[in-house]
Structures are given as structure tokens and as C-alpha cells.
């Protein structure tokens, strides 16, 4: 059943992202304009995720905002409307193991590539939130605070956030001590206390610096091989 989107809170009025840049690109003949945003880069557990959204030109969904401005219930209530509205959408993930093995830069690029493949469309132009091109391909445009300025990026931010949050709520059933249903793998008092009491779970990023000084519980810290050692044994 589709959730009813609650009335827009007064604090969010007048802060709607626009289609201005998308319309400029469409007018230039860029047919497939993709908004992209990431979530989970700063988490200590779970995947890093990238949302991708291609919006229609002739229909609008209201109340879309940067996902960080919305409550969890507001994002959940918008999710079904967004997935129905988008011409195409996808969320790509890189697992906690891939974050450890590849490092965050390569893991985020991997998640972005999976999101683009999931669209099943060839992008003509990509709008990326932030100042780092994690999509590659030479057709990305970086927009600082893009999730509050571009409607495509804002939609992608909600799709990524809701999808990853659902993954972490499911993981909470397996690891109840860490309160993943609340913190979604990000550091917080309960999460930190559980780590220091119990050590990391099997979905924690074991190469991260937070592993320093944690108790031994049979799960070893992951150390990425030094590429120089491979070149010069």
C-alpha cells in the first residue's frame, strides 16, 4: 500500500530543488540526464550506496527535498511515489567487504557503476552531488549542495537513503546490540558502546581506524595489502 505523504513542514517550504539545470540540458539535446547521490560513506558498518534517477519532463512529484532534510517517515512515504515517477532509477551498492578491500574511493566508484548499469539507459549527462566525480565517464557535472539544488539529485538521494536504511534495519535483526535500526551503521553512543563491549560484527568495515583498540572477539581487523610490497617483495 502506498503511504500518504504528510503535509510539507513549514521549515521545508521554499527550499525545493529545481529542474533548472535539467531543463537546460534537455534543451541542449541531452535526452538522458541522470541525477546521482551517495549515502553511507561515513558509516562504520554496511554498504556504501549510490542512487541514480532519470526524471520525466512532463510530470512532477512535489515535496521532494534533500534526503538529509527529511525525516525517515517522510522519506519512506515519498519512496514509492518516486519509483513510480522516475523514467528509470537504480541504487548500486558496494559491500562492507568491498569497502575494506578496495578502499572508499574505489568502492564508491564501484557502487556508482552498478547504479548506472541498473538504469539500463545510456546517460547523456550526469549531475553529481558534491565536488568529487565518483561516476567517471567524462560526462559528469559536479554540483556542490546538489541534493538541495537539483531535483534529479534530490530524488536520487532519497532513493539511495531509503534503500540503504532498509538494508541496515534488516541487519539489525541479526546484530541487535549495535542498534543498526536507529543509527544505520553510523557512529553514535549506543553503536560505540557496543563496539567497545563486544567488538565488531561481521558487517563492520574492518579496515577503518575505529577498529583501533577494540576488544578481540574472533573477527580480525582487515589490512589492505600494500601495493608497493606486491611490486617490490
Q: What is the pLDDT of residue 209?
A: 81
Q: CATH 3.30.420.10 in the chain: give the residue spans.
A: 12-171
Residue 108 CB: number of other CB atoms within 10 A? 24
**Tens-digit pLDDT profile for residues 18-64:** 899 999 999 999 999 999 999 999 999 999 999 999 999 988 777 78
- The three-state secondary structure class of 202 is coil
Q: How far apart are CA 174 and CA 179, in angstroms?
A: 10
**Cell digits of residue 11:** 521549515
| CA atoms 15, 21, 24, 30: torsion sign | negative
141 φ/ψ angles, rounded to the nearest 5 degrees: -120, 125
Q: What is the pLDDT of residues 138-165, one digit of tens each?
A: 899 999 998 889 999 999 999 999 999 9
User: What confidence tens digit (pLDDT) does each residue in 173-209 have?
Assistant: 999 999 999 999 999 999 999 998 888 999 999 888 8
Which residue reads 572508499 in cell numbers? 104
Question: What band does 65 get if pLDDT is binned at 50, 70 and 90?
Answer: confident
Query: What's residue 232's pLDDT?
Result: 39
| Location of C-alpha cell 595489502 | 225
Give yes or no for residue 215 having a pLDDT over 70. no
What CATH architecture does domain 12-171 belong to? 2-Layer Sandwich (3.30)
pLDDT at 137: 81
Tell me the C-alpha distance between 160 and 196, whole Å: 29
Closest CA to 103 of 27, 41, 150: 41
Classified as helix, coil or strand, 70 is coil
Query: How many residues does the structure list for the chain?
Result: 233
Strand partners, 54: 34, 88
In the sheet where 140-143 sits, what is the strand order? 88-94, 48-54, 33-39, 125-129, 140-143
> pLDDT band at 226, cuts 50/70/90?
low
Residue 105 has pLDDT above 70, yes or no: yes
- Residue 32: exposed, middle, or buried by beta-carbon count in 10 A (0-12, 13-18, 19+)? middle
Query: Which residue from 201, 32, 27 is spatially nearest to 126, judged by alpha carbons?
Result: 32
Amino acid at each position: 500500500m502506498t503511504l500518504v505523504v504528510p503535509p510539507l513542514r513549514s521549515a521545508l517550504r521554499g527550499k525545493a530543488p529545481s529542474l533548472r539545470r535539467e531543463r537546460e540540458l534537455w534543451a541542449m539535446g541531452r535526452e538522458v540526464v541522470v541525477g546521482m547521490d551517495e549515502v553511507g560513506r561515513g558509516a562504520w558498518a554496511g554498504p556504501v550506496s549510490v542512487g541514480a534517477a532519470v526524471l520525466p519532463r512532463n510530470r512532477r512529484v512535489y515535496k521532494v527535498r534533500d534526503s538529509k532534510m527529511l525525516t525517515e517517515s517522510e522519506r519512506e512515504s515519498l519512496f514509492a511515489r518516486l519509483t513510480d515517477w522516475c523514467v528509470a532509477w537504480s541504487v548500486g551498492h558496494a559491500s562492507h567487504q568491498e569497502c575494506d578491500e578496495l578502499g572508499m574511493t574505489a568502492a564508491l566508484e564501484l557502487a556508482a557503476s552498478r547504479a548506472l548499469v541498473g538504469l539500463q539507459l545510456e546517460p547523456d549527462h550526469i549531475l553529481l552531488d558534491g565536488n568529487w566525480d565518483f561516476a567517471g565517464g567524462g560526462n559528469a557535472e559536479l554540483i556542490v549542495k546538489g541534493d538541495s539544488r537539483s531535483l534529479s539529485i534530490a530524488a536520487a538521494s532519497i532513493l539511495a537513503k531509503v534503500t540503504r536504511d532498509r538494508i541496515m534495519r534488516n541487519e539489525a535483526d541479526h546484530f541487535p546490540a549495535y542498534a543498526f535500526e536507529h543509527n544505520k551503521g553510523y557512529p553514535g553512543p549506543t553503536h560505540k558502546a557496543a563496539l567497545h563491549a563486544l567488538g565488531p560484527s561481521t558487517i563492520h568495515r574492518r579496515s577503518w581506524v575505529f577498529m583501533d583498540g577494540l576488544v578481540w572477539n574472533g573477527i580480525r581487523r582487515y589490512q589492505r595489502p600494500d601495493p608497493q610490497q606486491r611490486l617490490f617483495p
